[in-house]
């Protein structure tokens, strides 16, 4: 018969012999003596005892029923010559579960080496105490490290982690397990803070943490330009053509998912690292915000997305919230959050918040040029220098915006909600020096941080800040260590697309004469120097209705001055008469829209519609009197129409009455019914109506797109969704009315001038009423570039579904010259203008991809420079605190040396990966830049490397197109 025995000493089970097994040591059998001796150094292992039929839980120490092990602190479990006489019991939380451990402190000579006494003994054993006075709870460093990793990677919260440890200890929860949820929350928060401070080198400061500078705990972006860290000497004197290589690109945005509730009974604990990490310094920020309590949102006064403010009032509800969201500033090319680049929003997206966040994020930035991408940059940039100067004066921030050359731009996919003029004026595609940056990196950052909002929404003020900072710290670190692969993959895409765009532009460019090419280039240069000049990337628009009306009235006034006007019995003019008819037509459209937009007509609503009809009839009487003067032959046509009407039919309602404008009369009868020139006046006003209607359509469609995007991102709950739907429906009604106006104006224009004279104005189908943006030839490459290095997709990023661009976005308007110049005008607008615009866009695409390749190559060098600079900083820190306790000094020195090793290893891995790349594009670049990279890795001969770099610049630019 089989008899189980101890694997270590061989004693058989039975009688007084008890057998155990340990999940951590291995699944072998141990007797009582062996398990005690084997676990004198491992008090946190989980053991089980064989009772003859099955395994049951057992405890190594911690009270009655345990194996009686007493753990000796100060000696890592080994015997002490003079231990403390008192035995204590402590709850220790470890990855193996929640344990009760009996222990003794050390009281021999070796205890003196612990500067902090008993706390030092606990910390020296890798147990973190929950309090500093008589702690009864500790957490092992291993459990704290595991929780931090699960928290920043998987968004695991303290509650779920602690409950998991409890179930690991006893899945049935039949034994009483000490509740240490709050204690572990404090310990994990402190541990994460101290770990971040250690990694940032703050433990090596001679004056300690108190001397840390603002933002010093943040992880910096390795590829971004940073003076005296990763830029070559003499970069300020570089050729103006290459200065864009040293320009910082930032992206700003607000996130309304990271809310925080206001609790009446909570502790007002501050953040542990206020101002040292990613959130702005708390006291100065709050003092600044108090001066702007009544300020409105940035988008409220926007002439570009004017409907945003209405929706913001309904979606950005702040009742019961301490913070309605977070404003942020990240580097636009890599998505790394800037030091002091986050700030809480109290109510909406206000200037005071976003301005302060930008100014804080720029503290210490010693560069010449900036480009800032922001989804409401068109409005936010207005008066920014004035507001910034006031912040410098009142809040004492050292940032001075007037020291930078600043460009503002709209993120690529957010721009679709803006007016066409605004899009082109602020497009990143037409902004020099930004490469193919899309400006949407901050959206991908929000996509990673948003899941954190479920737990941080209920946290206290300081705990929330620390939780978000931990996540951001990990995010920045991941971005940095991923640059080796990301930059290489981006370079592959960029070089392939650059070659493609250079060839595409050359194909268009070679067909032009040098005179025409120079003329078009001058127009681009003028616009880049002064954005008020005509935009070279847009088709020229035709004249508006107001402009045509003014021109006609001016001509009539000139005729009257010369005595050539037609004699009439009224003070009105032909233009005023036609305009009155068009206004009546617009009134009819409004009445029809009101009737169609109401499902159930109430007494109130019916009264309003009736008032509109009465107002129409009042104007109609005046119009008929004028019609007798300017259209005397129309009386006979009216009588004929009245005789042909069914006598039993009710009289037509106001919205159905025929106005008998020249366009409504057959061409054969028109000359007898109307005075000379009246048809031409209506034709010009109808063409202008088409232009106006298209402009309104584009504007309303942009607004609708913005509102839908805003609803999808911010509206939660049935009430907010209903309000959003109502507002979007109102905008949709206006779109339909503008479409009706265009269709009627086009029909009238065809009736007056024929289809051959309306080539610019096409048939408007319902399918044409969309905001599908123009799919440029490099759109797919741009999407690939944006996704590289990001684990999350931006919430507003378009899908790969191919969409058809509506013709309404490709026309600038109708003809605006006199009939004698009509053909020439059409040739200019329809033939030459699109060629000029396409040439300009092709050139911009080529330039941006050439810049992208150059920027990526420079970023690869900057990464190596940054890693080399970081190694040098840690080498300096080795001996900064030699005056402290010898053991502490030795530990600090060893940690600094390990950091030197880590950063050197990363740099070598990047360089090796780039050299071993299978992609020919990367190998080609390494052939050019390899010498510079090797010199940067060695940290010696930098002057020689820089000389090679600048000498080769001209050749490289030529090779890049």
The DSSP symbol for 810 reads S
Q: Using CA atoms, how far apart are residues 367 and 406, in angstroms rounded to an integer?
A: 11
Catalogue the long-range contacts made by 29-33 (C-beta closer than 8 Å, 24 or more residues apart): 29/4, 29/5, 30/6, 31/6, 32/67, 33/9
* DSSP-derived 3-state class of residue 665: coil
> Which pLDDT does position 945 carry in this prediction?
44
> Which pLDDT does position 716 carry in this prediction?
64
Domain of 284, in residue numbers = 217-474
Task: Show the tokens assigned to 351.
Answer: 């200037």
Which of 713, 747, 771 is the C-terminal boundary of a domain?
Answer: 771
Q: Using CA atoms, how far apart are residues 952 and 943, in angstroms rounded to an integer?
A: 14
* DSSP-derived 3-state class of residue 738: helix
Which of 720, 752, 771 is the C-terminal boundary of a domain?
Answer: 771
Task: Name the phi and psi angles at 353, rounded to 5.
Answer: -70, -55
Residues 335 and 426 in one domain: yes
Q: Using CA atoms, how far apart are residues 821 and 826, in angstroms rounded to an integer?
A: 9
826 and 814 Cβ atoms separated by less than 8 Å: no
Domain for residue 44, yes or no? no
Q: Using CA atoms, how far apart are residues 711 and 733, in angstroms rounded to an integer?
A: 18
Q: Using CA atoms, how far apart are residues 546 and 554, in angstroms rounded to an integer?
A: 12
Distance of CA 811 to the CA centre of its chain: 31
Task: Show the tokens assigned to 901.
Answer: 């090793």
> Which pLDDT does position 816 carry in this prediction?
39
- The region, left, alpha or beta by phi > 0 then psi within -120 to 50, assigned to residue 97 is left
Residues 133 and 260 in one domain: no
Give the residues across from 104 on adjacent strands: 72
Residues 358 and 500 in one domain: no
Domain for residue 39, yes or no? no
Residues 412 and 281 in one domain: yes
> Which pLDDT does position 831 carry in this prediction?
43
Residues 926 and 909 in one domain: yes
Question: Does the CA dihedral 573-574-578-584 come out positive or negative?
Answer: positive
Q: Using CA atoms, how far apart are residues 213 and 224, in angstroms rounded to an integer?
A: 20
Domain for residue 863, yes or no? yes
Residues 429 and 470 in one domain: yes
Residues 522 and 620 in one domain: no
- Number of domains observed in the structure of the chain: 4
Tokens 């470890």 sit on residue: 94
pLDDT, mean of each 10-residue run, the chain (961 residues): 80 88 90 91 92 89 83 91 90 95 90 81 94 93 97 94 94 88 95 96 90 94 95 90 94 93 75 93 92 73 48 54 93 96 91 95 95 92 92 89 94 79 87 92 93 90 94 97 92 89 84 86 90 81 60 60 50 80 87 71 72 86 85 84 81 85 84 82 85 79 70 68 73 83 87 78 83 62 66 51 59 43 39 73 92 95 96 92 84 95 95 76 66 67 45 48 46
Residues 365 and 269 in one domain: yes
Count of beta carbons in the 10 Å neighbourhood of residue 471:
21
Tokens 């959206």 sit on residue: 443
> Which pLDDT does position 624 carry in this prediction?
86
Domain for residue 30, yes or no? no
Domain for residue 900, yes or no? yes
Which stretch of DSSP H or E encloses residue 542?
none
Q: Using CA atoms, how far apart are residues 27 and 333, in angstroms rounded to an integer?
A: 52
Q: Using CA atoms, how far apart are residues 908 and 928, in angstroms rounded to an integer?
A: 18
Residues 750 and 647 in one domain: yes
Distance of CA 757 to the CA centre of its chain: 46
Domain for residue 515, yes or no? yes
Strand order in the sheet with 55-58: 26-31, 19-22, 47-50, 55-58
CA dihedral 519, 523, 528, 532 (to 10 degrees): 160
672-682 burial code (b ≥16 CB/10 A, e <16): ebbbeebbbbb
Which of 727, 746, 771 is the C-terminal boundary of a domain?
Answer: 771
Task: Show the tokens assigned to 757.
Answer: 């004279």
Domain for residue 792, yes or no? no
Q: Using CA atoms, how far apart are residues 260 and 321, in angstroms rounded to an integer?
A: 6
Burial environment of residue 924 by CB neighbours within 10 A (0 to 12, 13 to 18, 19 or more): middle
Residues 224 and 158 in one domain: no
Q: Using CA atoms, how far apart are residues 361 and 366, in angstroms rounded to an integer?
A: 12
Task: Show the tokens assigned to 220.
Answer: 């910096």
Burial environment of residue 699 by CB neighbours within 10 A (0 to 12, 13 to 18, 19 or more): buried
Residues 439 and 409 in one domain: yes
Task: Show the tokens assigned to 334.
Answer: 């890599």
The CA R_g of the chain, rounded to the nearest whole Å, is 38
The DSSP symbol for 534 reads P
> Which pLDDT does position 827 carry in this prediction?
38
- The region, left, alpha or beta by phi > 0 then psi within -120 to 50, assigned to residue 52 is left
Task: Name the phi and psi angles at 85, rounded to 5.
Answer: -70, -25
Q: What angle do CA 74, 77, 80 make, to 5 degrees?
A: 60
106-124 burial code (b ≥16 CB/10 A, e <16): beeeebeebeeebbbbbeb
Distance of CA 336 to the CA centre of its chain: 11
DSSP letters for 50-85: E-SSSEEEE-SSSSTTS---EEETTTTTS--SSB-S
Residues 222 and 344 in one domain: yes
Domain for residue 714, yes or no? yes
């Amino acid at each position: 018969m089989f008899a189980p025995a101890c694997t270590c000493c061989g004693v058989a089970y039975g009688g007084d012999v008890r057998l155990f097994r340990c999940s951590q040591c291995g699944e072998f059998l141990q007797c009582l003596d062996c398990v005690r001796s084997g676990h004198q150094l491992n008090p946190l292992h989980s053991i089980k005892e064989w009772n003859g039929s099955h395994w049951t839980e057992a405890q190594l120490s911690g009270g009655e029923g345990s194996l009686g092990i007493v753990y000796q602190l100060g000696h890592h479990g080994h015997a002490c010559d003079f231990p403390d006489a008192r035995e204590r019991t402590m709850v220790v939380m470890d990855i193996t579960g929640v344990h009760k451990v009996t222990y003794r402190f050390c009281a021999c000579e070796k205890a003196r080496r612990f500067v902090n006494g008993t706390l030092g003994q606990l910390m020296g054993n890798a147990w973190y105490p929950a309090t500093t006075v008589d702690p009864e709870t500790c957490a092992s460093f291993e459990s704290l490290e595991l929780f931090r990793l699960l928290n920043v990677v998987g968004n695991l919260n303290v509650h779920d982690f602690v409950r998991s440890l409890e179930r690991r200890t006893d899945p049935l929860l039949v034994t009483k397990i000490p509740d240490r949820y709050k204690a572990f929350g404090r310990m994990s928060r402190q541990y994460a803070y101290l770990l971040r401070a250690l990694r940032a080198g703050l433990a090596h400061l001679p004056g300690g943490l108190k001397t840390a500078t603002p933002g010093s705990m943040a992880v910096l972006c390795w590829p971004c330009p940073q003076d005296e860290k990763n830029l070559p000497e003499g970069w300020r004197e570089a050729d103006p053509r290459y200065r864009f290589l040293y320009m910082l690109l930032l992206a700003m945005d607000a996130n309304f998912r990271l809310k925080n509730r206001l609790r009446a009974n909570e502790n007002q604990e501050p953040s542990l690292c206020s101002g040292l990490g990613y959130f702005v310094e708390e006291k100065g920020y709050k003092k600044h915000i108090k001066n702007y309590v009544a300020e409105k949102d940035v988008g409220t006064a926007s002439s570009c997305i004017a409907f945003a403010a209405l929706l913001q009032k309904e979606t950005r509800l702040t009742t019961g919230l301490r913070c309605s969201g977070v404003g942020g500033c990240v580097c636009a090319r890599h998505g790394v959050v800037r030091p002091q680049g986050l700030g809480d929003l109290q109510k909406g997206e206000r200037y005071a918040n976003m301005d302060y966040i930008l100014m804080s994020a720029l503290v210490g930035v010693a560069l010449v040029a900036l480009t800032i991408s922001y989804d409401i940059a068109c409005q936010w940039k207005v008066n920014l220098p004035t507001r910034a100067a006031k912040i410098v004066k009142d809040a004492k921030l050292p940032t001075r915006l007037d020291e930078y050359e600043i460009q503002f731009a709209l993120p690529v996919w957010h721009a679709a909600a803006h007016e066409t003029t605004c899009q082109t004026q602020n497009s990143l595609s037409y902004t020099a020096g930004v490469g193919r940056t899309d400006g949407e990196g901050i959206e991908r950052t929000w996509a990673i941080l948003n899941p954190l909002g479920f737990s941080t929404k209920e946290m206290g003020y300081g705990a929330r800040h620390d939780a978000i900072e931990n996540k951001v710290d990990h995010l920045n670190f991941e971005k940095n260590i991923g640059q080796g692969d990301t930059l290489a993959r981006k370079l592959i895409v960029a070089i392939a697309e650059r070659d493609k765009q250079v060839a595409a532009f050359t194909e268009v460019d070679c067909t032009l004469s040098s005179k025409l090419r120079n003329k078009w280039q001058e127009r681009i240069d003028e616009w880049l120097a002064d954005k008020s000049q005509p935009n070279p990337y847009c088709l020229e628009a035709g004249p508006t209705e107001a402009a045509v009306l003014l021109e006609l009235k001016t001509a009539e006034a000139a005729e009257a001055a010369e005595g050539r006007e037609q004699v009439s019995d009224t003070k009105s003019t032909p233009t005023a008469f036609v305009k009155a008819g068009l206004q009546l037509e617009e009134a009819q459209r409004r009445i029809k829209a009101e009737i169609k937009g109401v499902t159930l007509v109430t007494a109130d609503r019916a009264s309003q519609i009736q008032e509109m009809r009465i107002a129409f009839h009042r104007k109609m009487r005046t119009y008929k009197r004028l019609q007798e003067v300017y259209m005397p032959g129309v009386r006979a046509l009216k009588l004929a129409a009245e005789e042909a009407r069914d006598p039993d039919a009710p009289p037509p309602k106001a919205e159905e009455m025929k106005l008998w404008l020249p366009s409504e009369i057959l061409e054969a009868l028109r000359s007898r019914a109307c005075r000379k020139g009246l048809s031409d006046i209506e034709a010009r006003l109808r063409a202008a109506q088409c232009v106006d209607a298209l402009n309104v359509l584009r504007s309303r469609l942009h607004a609708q797109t913005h509102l839908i995007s805003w609803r999808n991102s911010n509206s939660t709950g049935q009430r907010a969704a209903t309000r959003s739907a109502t507002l979007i429906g109102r905008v949709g009604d206006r779109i339909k009315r503008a479409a009706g106006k265009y269709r009627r104006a086009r029909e009238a224009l065809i009736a007056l001038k024929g289809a051959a004279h309306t080539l610019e104005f096409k048939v408007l189908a319902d399918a044409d009423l969309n905001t599908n943006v123009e799919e440029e030839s490099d759109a797919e490459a741009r999407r690939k570039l944006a996704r590289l290095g990001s684990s999350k997709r931006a919430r507003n990023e378009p899908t790969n579904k191919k969409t058809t661009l509506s013709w309404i976005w490709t026309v600038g308007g109708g003809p605006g010259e006199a009939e004698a110049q009509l053909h020439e005008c059409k040739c200019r607008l329809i033939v030459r203008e699109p060629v000029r615009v396409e040439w300009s866009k092709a050139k911009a695409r080529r330039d941006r991809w050439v810049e992208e390749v150059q920027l990526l190559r420079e970023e690869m060098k900057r990464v190596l420079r940054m890693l080399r600079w970081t190694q040098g900083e840690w080498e300096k820190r080795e001996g900064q605190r030699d005056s402290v306790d010898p053991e502490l000094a030795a530990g600090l020195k060893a940690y600094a040396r390990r950091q030197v090793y880590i950063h050197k290893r990363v740099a070598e891995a990047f360089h090796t990966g780039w050299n071993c790349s299978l992609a020919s594009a990367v190998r080609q670049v390494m052939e050019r830049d390899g010498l510079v990279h090797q010199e940067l890795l060695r940290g010696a001969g930098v002057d020689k490397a820089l000389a090679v770099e600048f000498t080769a610049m001209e050749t490289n630019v030529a090779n890049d197109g």
